[in-house]
Structure 1
Amino acid sequence: MPMKLAVPDLISNSYFPVEAAVKLGFFKDEGLDVELELIFPVDKAYAALRDGVVDFVGGSAHSALAAFPEWKGVKLLCAQGQGMYWFLVMRSDLVTVPGDVNVVKGRKIGAAPWVEMGLRQLLGMSDIDIERDNVQIAPVPGANAGNVNFGVTAAKALEEGKIDGFWANGMGAETAVRGGVGTVVVDVRRGGGPSDAFNFTMASLATTDQLISRSPEVAAAAVRAVVRTHKALKNDITLASKVGGLMFPPNEAALIETLIARDVPYYDASISKSFIEGMNQFSRNIGILKGNPTYEDIVAEQFSDLWQR
């Protein structure tokens, strides 16, 4: 029976490493029969992991707390990529100074549940008060209709004037920019926004303590598959187009190689202690974590020797 790996956004660069690991056969090469399953939003993906409906989640690391309070019962196996990977994109006609987050004042911003937490904290650190400055952060119209690409749905809503901006993935950002309707205001990975925001979250691969205890060889194989995928994409970026051709509609398939070429410098499976410290602080600040779990409480460090192989 195939194992299931849930991702909250399918036609996107956000969780491309685990998607490519399936489509390029690296999970299979490691002895795992893995199927991708779209479960949106990300808190529902982690709930499915908790309930035994799926075996892994490839999603935002901090969002595990939606289903596993205080990190009880779940572990991060490895990173899909370093750093918070979402973009703040605003209507092009509103942006006069690139990088100036004041453009959000009095505006409606589309963002997915749990993803929006990163935006709220980033704005707060940039002296933007959500209530005082009348910033509306809400789900993107149409994004809950079983759509496989949150970012492209957000870009369409921006073009149609349903929102003034969005906080979403690179695919959505690129679509909006190329369409002339959006301008990137914040790209945290590449130096935009407060420096602390880089460690708010990351795209990770997670599973349960139960699976690790029962089948440590399965967890190790999953880590090896992601590491092999990182190496393959770094060595041959055209593999991104191959995977895109198998999974994506033509427009998004045409973009994915460019996006992955931009992302590969962040393809490192390791999870540092400084990242965990930053994510814990972020999680406490936004009220989804009360305590101070240790690195070992959050990360399956018994597989750390596999991260650089």
Structure 2
Amino acid sequence: MPMKRTVLSRRSFTLLAAAAVAVPALRAQGRPEKRRVSIAVGGKAAFYYLPLTISEQLGYFKAEGLDVEIADFAGGAKALEALVGGSADVVSGAYEHTIHMQAKKQFVQSIVLMGRAPQIAMGVSTKGIPNYRGLADLRGKKIGVSAPGSSTNMVANLVLSRAGIQASEVSYVGVGTSAGALAALRSGQIDAMSNTEPVMTMLEQKGDVRIVSDTRTLKGTQEVFGGPMPAACFYTRADFVKQNPNTCQGLANAIVRGLKWLQTAGPSDIIKTVPESYLLGDRALYLASFTRVREALALDGLLPEDGARTALKALASFDPTVKPERIDLSRTFTNDFARRAKEKYKA
């Protein structure tokens, strides 16, 4: 029996085409599958996580229909443990953890980028090692990091490995990312430190440290890593992304909106928005730190593919458990949510 041909009018075709385009958009803006979301972060007061604080303080998560509960840990490695253990839905942490986890055959995925440079500096105590001549002087020394296994630890490992120093030749000490880190270095508990802002600028401007490696700027990051290096992001389990796309979209929307706010925010805006405790008792130095790392903040939440390759190359250079040929970078991040958020807020 011959098939009956259906002829569409131009108007009908236009309406159908519009409907086809509208479906994904409606789905992307649907109600969150999971309204209450627990977020783990390692050192929330650091500028590394400023977009998270801004989006929280300005009510951007609530505007997306999300009730977020943020648990602050000493470092990124501890925040990751919360995700693996099931006490957190999402981590606000360093992108490279997605690669480390895949090397262990566990899949976690970045859904929105907050930082396009690590914002981590490594400094040697001017009091503990007054006659510092080079990285070789750090053999046998104690190096402070936010927490063992964190991004600050990763940067220290990379810097030392390029000088021929193995991780086993130094001792890493977890000192957090705020007042405790300042006290640890000034009291002589550690000989050097790899940490984030505002801690490192505060130590540097007071003459407590001599900076030996710096990724607080895009130029410094290029020099240390040889390319763009993605930093803070929201990452979560791959199955959570599949089961909660609207929730992930809401999280990405809130962060991208925060990033857009940060592009035009002045010093007084920052001071008014962040909690007083984040200033560590010195507003001027806090703002000096912000000025130094401002360009390191992401612009639109998108993670660059060449940045993912840089991260993999860096990790593989000192971590024998990371085999580049066994890592599928396309499974470590998605830009789908950030693209939609960017369109929504024109970031």
TM-score range, shorter chain: 0.7 to 0.9
Q: Deviations over 1:192-248 (max 9, x none)?
A: 484426656511111222222122111111111111111112211333212333553
Q: Distance in 1 between matches of 2:220 and 2:169?
A: 20
Alignment of 1:149-168 (within 5 A): 149-168=176-195
Q: Deviations over 1:136-159 (max 9, x none)?
A: 23114xx3xxxxx43432221111
Q: Deviations over 1:97-126 (max 9, x none)?
A: 89x54553453222221231321122222x
> Do residues 120 (structure 1) and 154 (structure 2) align?
no
Range moving further from structure 2, 48-57 or 238-247: 238-247
Are 2:107 and 2:238, in contact at CA under 8 Å, matched by a contact in 1? Answer: yes
Q: Distance in 2 between matches of 1:49 and 1:289?
A: 21
Aligned-partner residue type, residue 287 of structure 1: P
Q: Mark the CA change 1:136 to 1:58 in structure 2 (over 3 Å): closer, same or farther.
A: same
Aligned-partner residue type, residue 54 of structure 2: A
SS in structure 1 at match of 2:198: helix
2:64 maps to 30
* Structure 1 unaligned blocks of 5 or more: 144-148
Are 2:108 and 2:332, in contact at CA under 8 Å, matched by a contact in 1? Answer: yes
**Count of residue pairs brought into register by the alignment:** 298
SS in structure 2 at match of 1:167: strand
Q: Distance in 2 between matches of 1:103 and 1:234?
A: 40
* C-alpha RMSD over aligned residues: 2.9
SS in structure 1 at match of 2:165: coil
Are 1:63 and 1:114, in contact at CA under 8 Å, matched by a contact in 2? Answer: no
TM-score if structure 2 supplies the norm length? Answer: 0.75
Q: Distance in 2 between matches of 1:233 and 1:159?
A: 32
Q: Distance in 2 between matches of 1:261 and 1:66?
A: 31
SS in structure 2 at match of 1:170: coil
Q: Deviations over 1:42-87 (max 9, x none)?
A: 2231232233311211111112456554563311012111122211
Are 1:50 and 1:67, in contact at CA under 8 Å, matched by a contact in 2? Answer: no
TM-score if structure 1 supplies the norm length? Answer: 0.84
| Cα distance, 1:297 vs structure 2 | 0.8
1:289 maps to 322
* Structure 2 unaligned blocks of 5 or more: 1-34
SS in structure 1 at match of 2:337: helix
Q: Mark the CA change 1:136 to 1:306 in structure 2 (over 3 Å): closer, same or farther.
A: same
1:146 maps to none
Alignment of 1:50-69 (within 5 A): 50-64=84-98, 69=103
Aligned to 1:234, which of 232, 249, 263? 263
Aligned-partner residue type, residue 162 of structure 1: Q
1:258 maps to 288
| Cα distance, 1:263 vs structure 2 | 2.2
Aligned-partner residue type, residue 137 of structure 1: S
Aligned-partner residue type, residue 175 of structure 1: M
Aligned to 2:109, which of 63, 66, 75? 75
Q: Distance in 2 between matches of 1:295 and 1:303?
A: 17
Are 2:121 and 2:195, in contact at CA under 8 Å, matched by a contact in 1? Answer: yes
2:46 maps to 12
Q: Distance in 1 between matches of 2:118 and 2:227?
A: 5
Are 1:87 and 1:184, in contact at CA under 8 Å, matched by a contact in 2? Answer: yes
Q: Distance in 2 between matches of 1:56 and 1:260?
A: 26
